[in-house]
Structure 1
Amino acid sequence: MIDSLPKPFPALDVSEDRNPAMRLFGLRFFQDQTVLEYLTEFLSVVSYPKWLADGEPIRDPLPPLSVLRSWSDQKLRYKPPVRLNLKLFALLGASRADSRHETHLEHYRMIFDALRRSISSDQSAERIVRVLEELLRGYQGAGLNRTWCAQTFYPVTASLITQETLWNDTVAKKRDVRDWNEAVSHFHTFFSVSKHRFMARGGELLYLQICNALTRDSESTADLARRVGITENEGSLETLHASLQDGLAAVYGVQVRSLDRLVEYIEGLHPETHGLTNEDSGDGSNAQVCGWCPRDSWQEGYLFAVELSRVLSAALDPIERLELLMTGCTLQVLRSLCAQSARYAEPPAPNGRGGVLGYAWIFTHPYSASRPSRLASQRNLQAVQALIYRALRHPALQDNAGRAGARTDLKTLNKEADTKYGHKLFLSLGKKLGIIAPLKGSGARFVMTDGLLRYLVMALLRPEERCTDRVFIERLYRHYGIAVEGENLTDAVLWSGLPANSSVQPERGSWLAEMLRAGGFLTELSDACAVVRHPFGKLRDDRRNA
């Protein structure tokens, strides 16, 4: 167990971060950030210009490896656009009626009329505008109960990734603003873009974890790769950086260019609004500033980088790739909470070792799990939550939170850490992802879903790779601490503080094999041997460059 406070990456001054959870896990994983918004924020950092110190803008998904290796205490900044014209046109009709200010309605009508006048067609121009509005509304992703500007698009293209923008309703009422031009002329008075209420920095933290891993020395990463079973060729930092650079650059291809043109056209219907809300200093001085991640998180960051590289290099349908990336980002948050907690708290029991990162998750069949396996998974989930709880009570974190000058008392900080950033975040996020059930009531346990299993096949195998089912089960435990059967399940039971018990093992053959077979991932060669197969080939270079 580590005795000192976590060191930040990059090496920023974090002395004012008193909340135990932020100080332990980084700035920050937060309960109000949705599964979709973790991915969207991650892609926002990937897709838009980035700056380190006063250097030139970095337009590639990742900084060059030489820049990463010399990165010390500079803040990472990035600048996604504010697209108020687009959001107003597409999402006003999907927002709560009581959240629509009169200035919003006024500008919506202006955008609608400007678009209608620009259409020359034998059909009704107004009907075409309505169709376009419904088309763009179909990309509504998260925040259905929020004001239109605070909602998030599903990121089918980078042009739909926008900066979090909140309408300051109280200020608008107090100032009695009645004109849209007045509202955008005083943009930072009537709107907020830096509260991080929904784009809460979780996606930024995932991006920083990858950068952190790529700054490590080759000897450390090679040792982790050997323990997990990653080949030297795939796991070298140079290969991994190049693969991620290519894969992240190819997330969006030529198929979205027509949509990009439509987005740009609608956003440009009122240039004054776009100009006033997208100040560009040219040097990133007015850009978003990323937080930090724990330096020790390079291990889970490295595994995340390898898994993303495999998903991105497979010839997948673009929407399916986004769905898999969304699962991967959320799973990485859950893994990060457990891995960092395992460094700062004693395990539940001395006998079990857990996966490579020191923890274990006991997964069960979603519908037909036996009573002993359900109870073991329930106990394991409780042990995981207790691990996170104990880590947040680490003496160094408690001393830091309670030292003189803190504006919030220690009891309040601990309660906030538990509910918004700690074990309750783990539980709620697992339920949102569908891997903890039931959603309500007692008896919560880990369950394997078809969507999760599909992601795990894509992330644990390279495109077209085959491995035995035994090897696949071992990779599950090494990468994620996921135990389903055999020796790993026995170890996970011991890690959870339970006695070894053969009744938790599958009774009528492997339920995981049945799910793999149903998904088209398993080929049985004999009664004693089966092969798990990645069903997709490698993304061709010509498609990457499209």
Structure 2
Amino acid sequence: MKFLEDVDFVVDEKIWGHRLYDEQLPHLILLEFLGILASHRDDPLNEVDDKVIYKPQRQLRLRGVLFNNPYINIIASSNRSDEKKWQEWFEEYQKGAYAEEDMTYLKEVFSSFDDFARVVELLRSSSFEINSNKRWSSKFVFPFGPDALYEDLRIDKSETNDRRFFARTGEILYLMLCRAENKNELGELLVKRLLESDLSLNRLVKAIQGDRQEAKLAKEISSLQLPILKHDRFDQLCRDWIHILKQDIPSYDAISYLMFSAGLNMLLYFLERSKEVLSEEKPIRLVCEIISKNRTKIRAISADDYQHNQNLSIRSIAAEIENIQQNEEWMSASSQLYPESEYIRLMQKQFKWPSEDEESSDWSADSLIEKLIDKAQLRHKQHLAKVHSAWSKAIGLSSRRLSRRMRYAPNDHFLKSLVITVVDKRMPFDDFLEVIKNRYGLVVGEAQAQELITSNQVDQEAFSKNSEYLAERLMSLGLVRQLSDGCAFVENPFNI
């Protein structure tokens, strides 16, 4: 397993796959995913022989012009002739270019240097994290089409694939959808809606990039990177994406909702896998406070739910390791002539640990388990334990606004994205509350909070007010219509 060569032991990977990564936020997950999909336009979302082979694009000319080209605006604003502007830009660009490139083709593509500068500014302004201090080779243009997709690179003496921002979470997303029930329908929709070369802004990208630049070597996604072959969350994510792509939404706008859906469903997969390892049967619960002018009793409950869910993954690490004690070989090892050696063999078989350098005949069964729990939880806290906090904030689900504690307090973008992901044309408001509870564990109204109400953790009026606040928020966004008989309907603005 080449992808695990740099891993000292396998615990996180057995639960969630290799790998979910907190710094790879939903927009970066989708970009990595689309780069893989673009390499499989003729056969999307299929694992062949337990792996996916793909060749990512590099598009060095495109990202060099957009993100390693600080002088273009100065030259464009000068009073020089068009010919002089082109000449000066060619000279300045080559000084800072990673590799010597003949960029004179741009003069044939654009009618004037000023037109070229305006297109660069348009594409640059729509890029992700344009004002960040990331190196130019780790900045990404909006995915306007197949020519706008490329992998993260470290540019030094060579072009090195980097795993900091494309950390394989997009590969995990690809495998998830390869294993979903409706993957064939989704694959066709994705290619048709997002990977057409004739999309208007993709043509501008292609004009700057010229011929596509691909990596020299293909990459391999092993099926072992995602040990879960089937999961309800894979199917739900697939259904959500199909629902989004079938709507009359401009392709570029649909990408935003796909990012949201990927972030929400992968966050829930992370939490649900934790609960499965812990053998907790109750579904994930995310009590959402709809922020209003008045402080509500729901705030504390939402913050408690947030903290409970935040701790799930670290607890599941210990549970996954301790589960080895239920293994028949482990239980019978004590009767062996050299039980310590047998315990070490079983730990190596299950978790690829300890290494030969760490082996010790003095380790008992308990000390082996305790040692690995300490090491695994320490590593887990560095990145994977932050997935819940980082992704929930990135999709607009969690907030510390008006409070010292983080809790689930969805913003307007989250709520609009939720409506577009759930509602076809229109849906009774009460049904909407029930659907988002059943699909995503989001608790807003009194009917969905009966467990909390009957256990006297909060009164019914608090959740009744909370659902009223949500209706008001959605109405202000143009997503709820109040009828004369008092019935409220949630409406999808793209399908009315």
Identify the residue that residue 421 of structure 1 maps to in structure 2.
384
Preserved CA contact (<8 Å) 1:60 1:249: no
Matched position secondary structure for 1:388: helix
Identify the residue that residue 308 of structure 1 maps to in structure 2.
241
| Residue-by-residue CA offset, 1:30-82 (whole Å, 9 max, x unaligned) | 02213311111122222222xxxxxxxx624333xxxx6xx6x6211222211
Matched position secondary structure for 1:159: helix
Identify the residue that residue 160 of structure 2 maps to in structure 1.
192
Matched position secondary structure for 2:408: strand
Identify the residue that residue 140 of structure 1 maps to in structure 2.
127
1:474 aligns with 2:450: no
Preserved CA contact (<8 Å) 1:378 1:446: yes
Matched position secondary structure for 1:535: coil
Identify the residue that residue 219 of structure 2 maps to in structure 1.
287
Preserved CA contact (<8 Å) 1:483 1:492: no
Taking the aligned partners of 1:249 and 1:150, their CA distance within structure 2 comes to: 25
**Residues 96-495 of structure 1 aligned to structure 2 (within 5 Å):** 105-107=95-97, 114-115=104-105, 117-118=107-108, 121=111, 125-142=112-129, 144-168=132-156, 172=157, 190-193=158-161, 195-214=162-181, 240-252=182-194, 257-268=199-210, 278-279=215-216, 286-289=218-221, 292-295=225-228, 298-347=231-280, 354=282, 358-368=283-293, 370-396=295-321, 400-401=350-351, 403-405=353-355, 410=372, 411-422=374-385, 424-438=386-400, 442-462=404-424, 464=425, 466-491=426-451
**For 2:54, which of 78, 87, 95 is the aligned residue?**
78
Taking the aligned partners of 1:372 and 1:440, their CA distance within structure 2 comes to: 13
Mark the structure with the bigger radius of gyration: 2
How far 1:299 sits from its partner (Å)? 0.7
How far 1:108 sits from its partner (Å)? 7.1
Q: In structure 2, do the counterparts of structure 1 residues 82 and 440 end up closer, same or farther at CA, with 3 Å as the change threshold?
A: farther
How far 1:25 sits from its partner (Å)? 0.9
Taking the aligned partners of 2:113 and 2:32, their CA distance within structure 1 comes to: 34
How far 1:337 sits from its partner (Å)? 0.9
How far 1:159 sits from its partner (Å)? 1.2
How far 1:460 sits from its partner (Å)? 1.7
Identify the residue that residue 74 of structure 2 maps to in structure 1.
none
RMSD between aligned alpha carbons? 3.6
| Residue-by-residue CA offset, 1:108-135 (whole Å, 9 max, x unaligned) | 79658624643685xxx44343333323
Identify the residue that residue 45 of structure 1 maps to in structure 2.
36
Matched position secondary structure for 2:481: strand
- Matched positions, count: 435
Preserved CA contact (<8 Å) 2:45 2:184: no
**Residues 506-545 of structure 1 aligned to structure 2 (within 5 Å):** 506-507=464-465, 510-525=468-483, 529-537=487-495
Identify the residue that residue 26 of structure 1 maps to in structure 2.
17
Taking the aligned partners of 1:15 and 1:111, their CA distance within structure 2 comes to: 35
Matched position secondary structure for 2:381: helix
How far 1:93 sits from its partner (Å)? 3.2
Q: In structure 2, do the counterparts of structure 1 residues 130 and 534 end up closer, same or farther at CA, with 3 Å as the change threshold?
A: closer
Taking the aligned partners of 1:210 and 1:520, their CA distance within structure 2 comes to: 32
How far 1:248 sits from its partner (Å)? 1.0
How far 1:449 sits from its partner (Å)? 1.8
Q: In structure 2, do the counterparts of structure 1 residues 255 and 15 end up closer, same or farther at CA, with 3 Å as the change threshold?
A: closer
| Residue-by-residue CA offset, 1:136-182 (whole Å, 9 max, x unaligned) | 322321473222112222212221110221123xxx4xxxxxxxxxx
Preserved CA contact (<8 Å) 2:171 2:221: no
Preserved CA contact (<8 Å) 2:429 2:490: yes
Taking the aligned partners of 1:266 and 1:327, their CA distance within structure 2 comes to: 29
Q: In structure 2, do the counterparts of structure 1 residues 258 and 492 end up closer, same or farther at CA, with 3 Å as the change threshold?
A: same
Stretches of structure 1 that go unaligned for 5 or more consecutive residues are 1-7, 50-57, 96-101, 173-189, 215-239, 280-284, 348-352, 539-546
How far 1:471 sits from its partner (Å)? 1.5
| Residue-by-residue CA offset, 1:174-200 (whole Å, 9 max, x unaligned) | xxxxxxxxxxxxxxxx1212x421111
| Residue-by-residue CA offset, 1:254-288 (whole Å, 9 max, x unaligned) | 795454344334333xx7xx76x643xxxxx7234
**Residues 49-60 of structure 1 aligned to structure 2 (within 5 Å):** 49=40, 59-60=42-43
Matched position secondary structure for 1:93: coil
Preserved CA contact (<8 Å) 1:468 1:530: yes
Identity %: 20
How far 1:526 sits from its partner (Å)? 5.2
Taking the aligned partners of 1:537 and 1:470, their CA distance within structure 2 comes to: 20
Preserved CA contact (<8 Å) 2:145 2:196: no
Identify the residue that residue 225 of structure 1 maps to in structure 2.
none
TM-score, normalization by structure 2: 0.77
Taking the aligned partners of 2:249 and 2:120, their CA distance within structure 1 comes to: 29
